[in-house]
Homo-oligomer: A and B are copies of this chain.
């Protein structure tokens, strides 16, 4: 089978789009979920056009070969990990921004366009593409679509699915189809766009994305709070929700993260606090001043040891950079097991307390970054390299955190996706009947079972 798909691809694709060089393949076998398993692909395809993607899918259909599509490989759940005998399709050469339209406020891009590149191109037109995962400097729009990526501003502006208007997809039969529409509204047939977004390459291969844009926004105000405990910080988050403020970001970074960033980048951020909350408002005028003042008051009333509106834009940006760099900084210390639970806002203090308890109970370091404003927590379970016992304890803590999130009415994945790491969590979160409905949809749209098999379900 393997050789037949390769020879089939050699017939269909220009030579520079295809390789089976083992050294090259080795860079394409997994994403950033260090704990997830991966297999050995037989080939890597790097198509440039929709027709070339279609050729790859058809070759896989005809030969019954698994197809694993990947963007930049920044995923954190193993969704893009190779399976044995698969073809890996990388969208890295599909980087065209085809259209930016100021009247309709939309952009059309190939899936390999990097998130920050699209944002920069939109800014030149006074427009803004909101979804901003911390991986934005590297991750692609196609990958963001596959995982329904979130980010920092999602607490106010929603996630990737909220911005996808239309998709061109090569479906499980190898047909090129257009799903959705360019108009502001539309209700003709089922929401196939919404179904594709977040499906992690298991229902089709996205070849073009039309995204909704917003107008460029007003400059943000930043409010900083230091807290002795994550639970105090969690109470501040709950208070902001109860106070009716919808911040444009509300991020939590703990001392483990700040210290790891300092050790790596010498940014001098380590502060006399165990937890930092970073709140932002991009509401223009007096209403924005009020939002910032309310956040400040919520910080103070929740026991902040220090709280202030930042008057120094560079200082505020440095704190947000630290938040974005926390993940790679911690990765330097050893294998990271990344959590992504999301709980109701009112449960944030309790969930943070339970994460802390899991850290103590299992004797593992758990650093915390969080999109705290929407209850999306990323406990990062760090273990020393080569310490099998610690890794086993980390996995026990991971399981406990999942169970705690579900007990508090939360979900096991807020934005990273199921991939491989959260398949057990999915089975705990969804009823068997809902899993059966999802399997029925998968079977209906991927009847040959070739699209990223073994992921999600």
A345/B188 contact (C-beta < 8 A), A287-B284, A433-B175, A434-B177 known: no
Check if A414 is an interface residue, CB within 8 A of chain B. Answer: yes
Q: What is the oligomeric copy number? A: 2
A426 x B188 contact (CB < 8 A): yes
Which among A186, A285, A287 has the greatest number of chain B C-beta atoms within 10 A? A186
Q: CB-CB < 8 A to A437: which residues of B?
A: 171, 177, 192, 444-445
Interface residues of A in 303-351 (CB under 8 A from B): 342-346
Which of A10-18, A154-162, A382-390 touches B? A154-162
B188 x A159 contact (CB < 8 A): no
Q: CB-CB < 8 A to A354: which residues of B?
A: none
Which of A49-57, A109-117, A237-245 touches B? A237-245
Which of A61-69, A195-203, A393-401 touches B? A195-203
Check if A376 is an interface residue, CB within 8 A of chain B. Answer: yes
List the B residue with the shortest CB-CB distance to A194.
B194
Check if A3 is an interface residue, CB within 8 A of chain B. Answer: no
**Interface residues contributed by chain A, number (CB under 8 Å):** 87
B189 x A148 contact (CB < 8 A): no
Check if A449 is an interface residue, CB within 8 A of chain B. Answer: no
The proximity string for A residues 84-128 relative to B, scoring 1 for CB distances below 8 Å and 0 otherwise, is 000000000000000000111100000000000000000000100
* Secondary structure dominating the interface of A: loop
The proximity string for A residues 203-243 relative to B, scoring 1 for CB distances below 8 Å and 0 otherwise, is 10000000000010000000000000000000000100110
Q: CB-CB < 8 A to A375: which residues of B?
A: 183-185
A190/B185 contact (C-beta < 8 A), A103-B345, A177-B437, A434-B177 known: no
Which among A103, A415, A456 has the greatest number of chain B C-beta atoms within 10 A? A103
A187 x B285 contact (CB < 8 A): no
A345/B104 contact (C-beta < 8 A), A190-B198, A413-B187, A418-B187 known: yes
Which of A36-44, A135-143, A404-412 touches B? A404-412
Q: CB-CB < 8 A to A126: which residues of B?
A: 244
B189 x A418 contact (CB < 8 A): yes
A197 x B188 contact (CB < 8 A): no
Check if A431 is an interface residue, CB within 8 A of chain B. Answer: yes
B185 x A195 contact (CB < 8 A): no
Closest-CB distance, A241 to chain B (whole angstroms): 5
A441/B188 contact (C-beta < 8 A), A183-B375, A344-B104, A344-B182 known: no
Q: CB-CB < 8 A to A410: which residues of B?
A: 181, 183
Q: CB-CB < 8 A to A191: which residues of B?
A: 148, 161, 191, 194-195, 197-198
Q: CB-CB < 8 A to A199: which residues of B?
A: 190
Closest-CB distance, A219 to chain B (whole angstroms): 13
Q: A411 contacts which of B183, B344, B414 (Cβ < 8 Å)?
A: B183
Q: A189 contacts which of B189, B343, B434 (Cβ < 8 Å)?
A: B434
Check if A297 is an interface residue, CB within 8 A of chain B. Answer: no
A183 x B414 contact (CB < 8 A): yes
The proximity string for A residues 436-448 relative to B, scoring 1 for CB distances below 8 Å and 0 otherwise, is 0110111111000
Q: CB-CB < 8 A to A269: which residues of B?
A: none
Q: A444 contacts which of B175, B192, B345, B443 (Cβ < 8 Å)?
A: B443
A188/B430 contact (C-beta < 8 A), A103-B346, A246-B215 known: yes
Interface residues of A in 136-176 (CB under 8 A from B): 147-148, 150, 154-155, 158-159, 161-162, 171, 173, 175
Check if A25 is an interface residue, CB within 8 A of chain B. Answer: no
List the B residue with the shortest CB-CB distance to A192.
B437
CA distance A171 to B440 in the complex (A): 13
Q: A188 contacts which of B187, B192, B195, B412 (Cβ < 8 Å)?
A: B412
Q: CB-CB < 8 A to A2: which residues of B?
A: none
B171 x A433 contact (CB < 8 A): yes
Closest-CB distance, A186 to chain B (whole angstroms): 4
B190 x A413 contact (CB < 8 A): no
Closest-CB distance, A418 to chain B (whole angstroms): 6
Check if A422 is an interface residue, CB within 8 A of chain B. Answer: yes
B189 x A430 contact (CB < 8 A): yes
B104 x A179 contact (CB < 8 A): no
User: What are 8 contact pairs spanning A and B, CB under 8 A?
Assistant: A126-B244, A184-B345, A190-B203, A191-B191, A192-B438, A283-B284, A441-B444, A444-B444
